Chain A
Amino acid sequence: MRPYLLLICPVLLFLGASYLLPFLGIVQLSFTDPDPGFAQYGHVLSDPLSLGVIGRTLRLCLIVTVVSVTSAYVITLLWVRGSPLVRMITELCIMIPFWISILSRAFGWLSMLSNRGLLNTWLQDLGLIDSAIQMTRNEFAVVVGMSHYLIPFAVFPLATAMRNVDERVLTAADGMGASRLRIFWQVYLPMTASGIMGATLLVFVFSIGFYVTPALLGGGQSVLVAELIYLWIFQIPQWGMAAAMSVVLMIAVGGILYLLIRRYEDVTP
Chain B
Amino acid sequence: MANTTQIEAHSVGKMFGDFHALRDVSLDIKEGEFLSLLGPSGSGKTTFLTMLGGYQNLTSGKLLLEGQDMTNWSAKQRGFGMVFQGYALFPHLSVAENIAFPLKVKKWSKAQMSARVDQMIEMVGLSGHAHKKPKALSGGQQQRVALARALAYEPKVLLLDEPFSALDKNLRGQMQEELRRLHRDLGTTFVFVTHDQEEALALSTHVAIFNQGALQQIGTPSEVYEHPANRFTAEFLGDINIMSLDAEKGGVAGTKIDLPTNASAFDHIALRPEHMRLAGETDVNKLPVTVRDMVYLGSKSRLVLETKAGEELMFYIDNGPGLPPPDLGAGLHVAWDTGDSFAL
Chain A contacts to B: CB under 8 angstroms:
166, 168-169, 171-178, 182, 186-187, 190-191, 193, 267, 269
Tell me the nearest residue of chain B to A179, going by C-beta.
B105
- Give every chain B residue within 8 A of A176 (Cβ-Cβ): 76, 101-102, 105
- The tally of CB-CB contacts under 8 A between chains A and B is 53
- Give every chain B residue within 8 A of A178 (Cβ-Cβ): 101, 105
CB < 8 Å: which of A166, A173, A267, A269 contacts B101? A173
Once the chains bind, are B54 and A177 in contact (CB under 8 Å)? no
CB < 8 Å: which of A174, A177, A191 contacts B91? A191
Once the chains bind, are A169 and B90 in contact (CB under 8 Å)? yes
Once the chains bind, are B76 and A177 in contact (CB under 8 Å)? yes
CB < 8 Å: which of B76, B86, B93 contacts A175? B76
Q: How far is the CB of A191 from chain B (nearest CB, A)?
A: 6
* Cα-based distance from A174 to B75 in the complex (angstroms): 8
Q: How far is the CB of A73 from chain B (nearest CB, A)?
A: 17
- Give every chain A residue within 8 A of B82 (Cβ-Cβ): 172, 175
* Cα-based distance from A169 to B93 in the complex (angstroms): 12
* Cα-based distance from A223 to B73 in the complex (angstroms): 61
With A176-B105, A269-B91 as contacts: A166 and B55 at CB distance below 8 Å: no
Q: How far is the CB of A83 from chain B (nearest CB, A)?
A: 18
Mostly, the A contact residues are: helix
Once the chains bind, are B76 and A169 in contact (CB under 8 Å)? no
Chain B contacts to A: CB under 8 angstroms:
53-55, 75-76, 79-80, 82, 84-86, 88-93, 101-102, 105-106, 135
Once the chains bind, are A171 and B102 in contact (CB under 8 Å)? no
* Cα-based distance from A161 to B55 in the complex (angstroms): 25
Tell me the nearest residue of chain B to A172, going by C-beta.
B88
* Cα-based distance from A50 to B78 in the complex (angstroms): 64
Tell me the nearest residue of chain A to B82, going by C-beta.
A175
Once the chains bind, are A171 and B76 in contact (CB under 8 Å)? no
- Give every chain A residue within 8 A of B76 (Cβ-Cβ): 174-177
Once the chains bind, are A171 and B105 in contact (CB under 8 Å)? no
Once the chains bind, are A169 and B89 in contact (CB under 8 Å)? yes
Tell me the nearest residue of chain B to A166, going by C-beta.
B88
Tell me the nearest residue of chain A to B92, going by C-beta.
A190
Would you list 20 pairs from A and B whose C-beta atoms are within 8 A, ordered by A residue?
A166-B88, A168-B86, A169-B90, A171-B84, A172-B88, A174-B75, A175-B75, A175-B82, A176-B76, A176-B101, A176-B105, A177-B79, A177-B102, A177-B106, A190-B92, A191-B90, A191-B91, A191-B92, A269-B91, A269-B135
Once the chains bind, are B92 and A193 in contact (CB under 8 Å)? yes
* Cα-based distance from A182 to B54 in the complex (angstroms): 20
* Cα-based distance from A186 to B90 in the complex (angstroms): 10
* Cα-based distance from A193 to B85 in the complex (angstroms): 24
With A173-B101, A190-B92 as contacts: A168 and B85 at CB distance below 8 Å: yes
* Cα-based distance from A178 to B135 in the complex (angstroms): 23
Once the chains bind, are B88 and A177 in contact (CB under 8 Å)? no
Tell me the nearest residue of chain A to B78, going by C-beta.
A175
Tell me the nearest residue of chain B to A168, going by C-beta.
B88
Once the chains bind, are B105 and A168 in contact (CB under 8 Å)? no
- Give every chain A residue within 8 A of B106 (Cβ-Cβ): 177
Once the chains bind, are B84 and A177 in contact (CB under 8 Å)? no
